């Protein structure tokens, strides 16, 4: 009995060690609600009532923004079948010049926000948006719940450009304006 308890505890500890710190981006469909266990965060502090001036499209910002530069970027939520980061205030946006499948008459793609008809243009036409708190930490609440946003909405994001070694663009966002159709 003592040996089986020890084995169980050992296996449990290994499982915890492997699982700890491992962040996944488990796909969630647009109809699946965000986790109810997330801490309460007031998303209204990120929402703008008026569109900020000087918004540039994703392609322009990707080409010109320097690391840590303050930017205002406009794009549509999408770029993959699941543009969301599970239980985090993060998502991808696509340059407004690209056509979503729903913009193409007769296209019946079940995930029009994945831009599968523009897949060859996506690598240079997308940006990751991450909403951060005052300390620069990623907000740990799903973006759909926090900001009441959904796929294919056009959003204007204000924040700071962050570049990785490959030149990919992440926007450390501090505010969002959601355009009406």
Summarised one tens digit per residue, pLDDT across range 36-93 is 454 577 899 999 999 999 999 999 999 999 999 999 999 999 999 999 999 999 999 9
Instruction: State the pLDDT at residue 39.
Output: 55
Helix H or strand E encompassing 120: none
What's the domain range around 88? 2-178
The answer to which of 20-29, 112-121, 150-159 has the lowest mean pLDDT is 20-29
At residue 32, does pLDDT exceed 80? no
CB-based contact 111:77 (threshold 8 Å):
no
3-state secondary structure of 152: coil
CB-based contact 90:112 (threshold 8 Å):
no
Which CATH number characterizes residue 19's domain? 2.40.50.200
Instruction: State the pLDDT at residue 42.
Output: 87
At residue 1, does pLDDT exceed 70? no
74 contact partners, CB below 8 Å, separation of at least 6: 55, 56, 57, 58, 96, 154, 155, 156, 157, 179
The answer to which of 18-32, 48-62, 99-113, 146-160 has the lowest mean pLDDT is 18-32
At residue 5, does pLDDT exceed 50? no
Instruction: State the pLDDT at residue 28.
Output: 40
CB-based contact 100:115 (threshold 8 Å):
yes
Q: What percent of the chain has pLDDT over 90?
A: 74
Q: Is the pTM of this model over 0.95?
A: no
At residue 113, does pLDDT exceed 90? yes
d(CA 170, CA 126): 9
How much is the mean pLDDT over the chain? 83
Structurally, the chain folds into a number of domains equal to 1
3-state secondary structure of 161: strand
């Amino acid at each position: 009995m003592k040996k089986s308890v020890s084995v169980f505890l050992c296996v449990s500890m290994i499982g915890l060690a492997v699982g700890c710190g491992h962040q996944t981006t488990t796909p969630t469909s647009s109809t699946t609600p965000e986790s109810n266990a997330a801490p309460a965060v007031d998303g209204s502090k990120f929402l703008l009532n008026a569109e900020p001036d000087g918004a540039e499209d994703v392609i322009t910002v990707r080409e010109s923004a320097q690391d840590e530069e303050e930017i205002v970027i406009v794009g549509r939520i999408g770029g993959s079948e699941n543009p969301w980061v599970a239980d985090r205030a993060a998502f991808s946006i696509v340059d407004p010049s690209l056509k979503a499948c729903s913009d193409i008459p007769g296209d019946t793609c079940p995930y029009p926000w994945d831009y599968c008809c523009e897949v060859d243009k996506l690598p240079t036409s997308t940006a990751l948006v991450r909403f951060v708190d005052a300390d620069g930490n990623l907000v740990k609440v799903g973006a759909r719940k926090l900001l009441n946003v959904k796929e294919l909405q056009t959003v204007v994001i204000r924040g700071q450009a962050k570049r990785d070694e490959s030149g990919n663009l992440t926007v450390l966002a501090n505010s969002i304006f959601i355009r009406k159709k």
